Amino acid sequence: MRIRIDIPRQTLELFADDDVCIRRYVVSTAANGVGEREGSERTPRGRHRIRAKIGAGQPLGAVFRARRPTGEIWTPALAASAPERDWILSRILWLCGEEPGFNRCGDVDSQRRYIYIHGTGDDQPMGEPLSHGCVRMRNRDVAELFDLVEAGTKVEIVG
């Protein structure tokens, strides 16, 4: 299996080992565009892999802070009570760059930047770049993807 995230198209595709696309999802990448620098709030490009899968068994809409469930479940009312929060929901696929000097090590390290594929609130549009650097997905979609991939799965981000 491998994942390809196409930033201009705002899609994530999952390919089987025979290189056939078996899933295609609409996503939301960074509002600031592409870039690898720490603090840029941009989505990093290049070759990555899934470093860790976080959230197995959590309900859809489970809220995470620092990669740990808070016990909250996202609702529109909860979102309205904390409009400044960047909601990380349901599942987290934590990415690790594979290209030293480009998306790994130093101030371009995707893992140290906490770049994830994760769920987001139902009120957030997909197909538009609006994140702070991560790849946002619908909660049902990220839960499905989570169940289909393993830690170590290759992820290519293009754009």
At 58, the amino acid letter reads Q
In the chain the domains, ranked by start, together with CATH numbers, are: 2-158 (2.40.440.10)
| Spatial distance between the Cα atoms of 72 and 47, rounded to a whole number of angstroms | 33
Q: Phi first, then psi: what are they for 114, rounded to 5°?
A: 60, 50
C-beta neighbour count of 154 within 10 angstroms:
15
Residues 9-29: tens digit of each pLDDT: 999 999 999 999 999 999 999
Q: Which of 92, 151, 127, 150 is nearest to 12 (CA)?
A: 127
Residues 115-142: tens digit of each pLDDT: 999 999 999 999 999 999 999 999 999 9
Q: Which of 147, 159, 158 is nearest to 50 (CA)?
A: 147
| pTM recorded for the entire structure | 0.96
Residues 65-80: tens digit of each pLDDT: 999 999 999 999 999 9
